[in-house]
Structure 1
Amino acid sequence: MGPFNQEHAVIRNYLELVLELPWSISSNDTLDLKKARMDLDADHYGMEKLKKRVLEYLAVRQLKNNLRGPILCFVGPPGVGKTSIGRSIAQTLGKRFTRISLGGVYNQADIRGHRRTYVGALPGRIIQAVRNAGVKNPVILLDEIDKMSSGVQGDPGAALLEVLDPEQNCHFVDHYLNVPFDLSQVMFLATANRVTTISPALYDRMEIIYMTGYTQEEKFLITQRHLLPKQLSQHGLDSSLMEIPNESVKLLISSYTREAGVRNLERKLAALCRAVALKVAMNQSAMVDDVITGDNPTNEVNSKVYDGNEIWSRLGVAGVAVGLSVNEAGGNVLLVEANKMAPGTGQLELTGRLGTVIKESAILAYSWLRTVAHQYGLSGEDESTDLLGCTDVHIHFPAGAVGKEGPSAGITIATALISLFAQIPVAPDVALTGEITLRGLVLPVGGIKEKILAAHRAGLKRVIVPKKCDKYLSGIPKDILVSRIIFF
């Protein structure tokens, strides 16, 4: 065929793809368990469940060479190391690593490829990743798998069902390649911030490993072992030019960053390094304490973002209770404020940008309280009278610009209402979470670990959780669980 023929370039590109694919080329895995454990500990602190899963995979690979690659999905808030741990796993196993970003993908052709009859047809991202890796058993990281969306060109999540199914991906057919390719030896890793946006079928094909946030003690050790040496190296500094005292590091963690991960903490450390580098370049002495606590308003680390006394100044008043919530960024402390206005008609007013479920929780808590008001001495001596029916109640959730949803605030709202009508303040060091029913039963809720860590970061000493949530307490550091969890 002549080079000027219209089909020449199409056929040549297809043949080059077929020849470049590693049909039988594999890399040798590193199966040294002790070395793998040391490498994982050197790269990341904590994550014991994830590291144990990797070591189990290596142990089985020592016993069986043709083990199919696992399909793991790391779910957690931003900044906890989901993507970086995938790269570390590949280095530990001695495999080649490639990453596919699925955020914003809405066309199934990005996964399966285009048919060669279309102009500008390309293979899918899976086949391209295998070609770039050069071996048939690489580690492929599917980043932000929960950010995919379906469009008029199909659902890419449905196209991933065959890719992530160990019983089917040994004969994966890309529309561009149009011949079966074996993906069973590929180790697929995926990352997501939450699982609610992942389709049930795709969720069923992956082994979910939750990566929650870090405690302040863990952040301190991560800063000393990983973040600070990394930032010093990137900014051309060393320990002789810059040394941050331990108290200053704890001040950064508690007053300048309050997140589940360590991404903002790393940004603050980078800001400190830049400030010290400027002083060193101008032949000045770099005092890190001055940089952190100085009065220079131009430095972004000077103004405290979080005040340790902010939440405590709003507690200790009747009608105020502390709840816990979970979002993509981890756990949060949620205040509930209740106020009564008499005389009234028993109306309930809810404010704070609330979703449907949390509004229903407030209505349930208020209805239950009216039925048991006499039992708690809130309706007077006559049981037939309803003093709550002659009073209007207003429940507000502060931070009104932030959306709130979920049933976890049920017992928090009920506690705030009882405190309001009994005029007894709730203990200021107690946080509550749990769903309430119309009969006053308390049902279990999710996100217990994230909520307990949020209470720990806020300085709350006790957390009241439903009794059936005790199964979610595994993996929480023991120093946090001591005299902290109260089952309801």
Structure 2
Amino acid sequence: MTDQSDAAKVTKTLPLLPLRGILVFPYMVIHLDVGREKSVKAIEETMVQDRIIFLATQKEAQTDEPGENDIYHTGTVAEVKQLLKLPGGTIRILVEGLARAKVVKFLEHEPYFKVEIEEYAEQHEVTPEIEALMRSLVNQFEQYVKMSKRIPPETVITVVNLEDPGRLADIIVSHLALKTEDKQRVLEAIEAKKRLEILCEILAKEMEILELERKINLRVRKQMEKTQKEYYLREQLKAIQKELGEKDEKTAETEEYRAKIKKARMPKEVEEKALKEVERLDKMPPMAAESGVIRTYLDWLLALPWRKTTRDRLDINQAEMVLNEDHYGLDKVKERILEYLAIRKLAKKLKGPILCFVGPPGVGKTSLAKSIARALERNFVRMSLGGVRDEAEIRGHRRTYVGAMPGRIIQGIKQAGSRNPVFLLDEIDKMSMDFRGDPSAALLEVLDPEQNNSFSDHYIESPFDLSDVMFITTANALHPVPRPLLDRMEVIYISGYTEEEKVQIARRHLIPKQLKEHGLKAGQLQMSENVIRKIIREYTREAGVRNLEREIAAICRKAARQIVQKNQKRVKVSIQNLEQFLGIPSYRFGVAEKEDEVGIATGLAWTETGGDVLAVEVTVMKGTGKLTLTGKLGDVMKESAQAAFSYIRSKASELKIDPDFYDKYDTHIHVPEGAIPKDGPSAGITMATALASALTQRKTRREVAMTGEITLRGRVLPVGGIKEKVLAAHRAGIKVVILPKDNKKDLEEIPQKVKSKMEFVLVEHMDEVLARALQEG
């Protein structure tokens, strides 16, 4: 066998024709369309000469003006057999590959490429190794033809009869659909053995790919056949069921929906809408994604109690007994409920009232709503509005959204199972708003008796009648509630409990409840009324009874431990051993001052947790007339202090104060417990009294507390929260309360037991306050 270097080489100078995406091999006959100017000129030159041209392929087919580095240097010397000029300047030529050649150098670039090439003569020697490679290649090619089905079988016969190894490789590669890079590798292999090896490797790889293609096609075909078979069988099953008078699963489902809709007694327009959705479901393919959405929607429509109601218990005496069982006191609320029942008995049809219970935490607002439901024998549902910021929480999402659901009003009605439940909207003052909308505005439609008979939820998209629902809302304070919303509600204030009411609540409700929760029997824990009173006075300070219940629970826990650990039959809690159960008292009962003092006055304030007692201290010292205010006061309190100071200056001569005191002395007004923010127009007369006491050196009476705002002329203006403030004064041991005369009407709300133990002084002017609050000078 001869080496490549020994192979015969012939040097020639020929025109070069760059090819795009095509390779021409020796012995290959092919048509080529030539359109580029340079290429056309190269062909014209070839036809003038001896019709011999050099064909080389471009590295990138997209290149329009290739340079010498853009063209593979190994190509094929070919003879132009035919030439045909086409319209548009394009030439079609028929070429036949003659021999491999390699560019030695580019001689000319214009008007066409002229190159000097080395032409290689083909070797014909067949060694045993080459014979083996030829047989392997023919076998692979036969398998490839069978698998690909893109090459005619006759080609295999032509290939089998070839004895020249080089020609065999070239003919096989010319029939394969390979990448340009792979074909170029074969073309560049001058030596026949190398060419056969490269082609065997490429064919092996191509056959692997064909095998994978075959497997994928087989899998797809099987799947298609399975789907077609299932469809055919389903159609057959439908036909058989039709003949037998039976229904298929999907038809059965839609028929079931239709029957349920007829039975649900929906309003006419809702029923029509539901039936239309059933028709859509019937026409839809079983696996369609939207069919699940329609089913969920239909299930919601069917689950709502469109006409289902519960009968109200209209026995007023029975209802009154239930309310008294559950709650001690709260006469105003109970009276309102019994009035509603009386009207229901007479009028039959009455729009559900919208009540708003306002009061500090722990006074029983939520539990009162449950009692109302029990008294009326209605279903009860509760929804907390604390932290609700999204309008969709009230009105629901539209069905176009993924995971859409009705709003919590409709969810609550479904949960109640009737269209006339007692619906509690808890913590209405804790709602907020953000970019997702204003839920308080969405609530307007719910709580407006003129609108809620056709409440529209975005998900249900059909009006639902809420006029029979008894809505009850609760709030700690009214100022955060929007005015339009407040306008729809009937506000009932629950101020807080007196000491006597707390004692009764503890005896009747809290102690039995805690004994049951801690597994104790009635006789195992003994606690007198005086002990309960001491817990109320010294361990709690609140308007409600929540902390009182916690303290009772703490006693029950310790009693349970003693009974289990020490085998005691009963545990007795007395005033003497109470500290063993609850520790040192948290509060001093009766925070009224122990003795009359100069420069201090007791005021009354309202907070969200009930009323509170406020001490205002004033100190006067030599200085330059500065007025200092401390105690974390709000703007309104600061204004009250300024007004009180100006009033005292204007009355200096009448009060026998040095008229120039504001130049000679500094005045410091302080409200203790400085960490707690304090604001509101309740402390004006208190500050004026403390200032007058400090400047006149007259002592204030310790048993007197006061509330009211002051003007620069000394008039006393009315303030709010009188009941809470009076109860706080009562808790603190105050005997006399000074109130603005315009607040006289508010005294009717104060329990008679508290009123009988206190004296109320109604005033119109600051002079009356000073006369009653200060000792004679």
Counterpart code for 1:308: F
**Residue pair 1:321, 1:336 contacting (<8 A) in 2 also:** yes
Match of 1:305 among 582, 586, 590: 586
User: Is 2:134 the partner of 1:134?
Assistant: no
**Residue pair 1:116, 1:176 contacting (<8 A) in 2 also:** yes
Alignment of 1:283-294 (within 5 A): 283-285=566-568, 286-289=570-573, 293=577
Give the match's secondary structure for 2:738.
Answer: strand
* CA displacement at 1:295 relative to structure 2: 6.0
Relative to its length, the structure with more helix (as a share) is: 2
Mark the CA change 1:64 to 1:295 in structure 2 (over 3 Å): closer, same or farther. Answer: closer
Corresponding residue for residue 294 of structure 2: 11
Match of 1:282 among 533, 543, 565: 565
State the TM-score, normalized to the length of structure 2. 0.60
**Residue pair 2:606, 2:721 contacting (<8 A) in 1 also:** yes
* CA displacement at 1:267 relative to structure 2: 0.4
The CA distance in 2 between the partners of 1:360 and 1:184, in whole Å, is 47
Structure 1, residues 177-205: CA drift from partner, whole Å, max 9, x if none? Answer: 11111000100000000000000000100
Match of 2:537 among 235, 248, 254: 254
Corresponding residue for residue 748 of structure 2: 474
User: Is 2:664 the partner of 1:390?
Assistant: yes
Give the match's secondary structure for 1:257.
Answer: coil
Structure 1, residues 199-246: CA drift from partner, whole Å, max 9, x if none? Answer: 000010000000011111111111111111111111111222111022
* CA displacement at 1:116 relative to structure 2: 1.0
The CA distance in 1 between the partners of 2:593 and 2:687, in whole Å, is 19
The CA distance in 2 between the partners of 1:92 and 1:21, in whole Å, is 24
Gaps of 5+ in 2: 1-283, 764-777
Gaps of 5+ in 1: 380-384
Corresponding residue for residue 89 of structure 1: 372
* CA displacement at 1:308 relative to structure 2: 2.6
* CA displacement at 1:347 relative to structure 2: 1.2
Structure 1, residues 434-487: CA drift from partner, whole Å, max 9, x if none? Answer: 001111111000000000000001111111010000111222111212342110
User: Is 2:762 the partner of 1:487?
Assistant: yes
Structure 1, residues 369-394: CA drift from partner, whole Å, max 9, x if none? Answer: 10111111112xxxxx4223311100
Corresponding residue for residue 332 of structure 1: 612
* CA displacement at 1:73 relative to structure 2: 0.4
The CA distance in 2 between the partners of 1:148 and 1:308, in whole Å, is 37
Corresponding residue for residue 347 of structure 1: 626
The CA distance in 2 between the partners of 1:330 and 1:205, in whole Å, is 25
Mark the CA change 1:143 to 1:442 in structure 2 (over 3 Å): closer, same or farther. Answer: same
Give the match's secondary structure for 1:270.
Answer: helix
Counterpart code for 1:320: I
Q: Which moved more, 1:224-233 or 1:268-277?
A: 224-233
* CA displacement at 1:329 relative to structure 2: 0.3
Corresponding residue for residue 372 of structure 1: 651
Alignment of 1:19-34 (within 5 A): 19-34=302-317
Corresponding residue for residue 382 of structure 1: none
* CA displacement at 1:115 relative to structure 2: 0.9
The CA distance in 2 between the partners of 1:86 and 1:11, in whole Å, is 37
Query: Percent of pairs identical after alignment?
Result: 53
Higher relative contact order (CA 8 A, sep 6+): 1
Structure 1, residues 29-72: CA drift from partner, whole Å, max 9, x if none? Answer: 10001100111001000111100100001001111221111000
Match of 1:428 among 696, 699, 702: 702
User: Is 2:406 the partner of 1:123?
Assistant: yes
Give the match's secondary structure for 1:149.
Answer: coil
Larger radius of gyration: 2
User: Is 2:685 the partner of 1:415?
Assistant: no
**Residue pair 1:293, 1:302 contacting (<8 A) in 2 also:** no
**Residue pair 1:216, 1:457 contacting (<8 A) in 2 also:** yes
State the TM-score, normalized to the length of structure 1. 0.96
Mark the CA change 1:295 to 1:140 in structure 2 (over 3 Å): closer, same or farther. Answer: closer
The CA distance in 2 between the partners of 1:310 and 1:195, in whole Å, is 29
* CA displacement at 1:396 relative to structure 2: 0.6
Mark the CA change 1:469 to 1:291 in structure 2 (over 3 Å): closer, same or farther. Answer: closer
The CA distance in 1 between the partners of 2:591 and 2:704, in whole Å, is 16
Residues paired across the two proteins, number? 478
Corresponding residue for residue 438 of structure 1: 712
The CA distance in 2 between the partners of 1:209 and 1:444, in whole Å, is 20
The CA distance in 2 between the partners of 1:198 and 1:249, in whole Å, is 36
Structure 1, residues 262-304: CA drift from partner, whole Å, max 9, x if none? Answer: 00000000000000000001134354336973665xx5x1120
The CA distance in 2 between the partners of 1:2 and 1:34, in whole Å, is 60
Mark the CA change 1:302 to 1:445 in structure 2 (over 3 Å): closer, same or farther. Answer: same
Mark the CA change 1:268 to 1:3 in structure 2 (over 3 Å): closer, same or farther. Answer: farther
Mark the CA change 1:310 to 1:208 in structure 2 (over 3 Å): closer, same or farther. Answer: closer
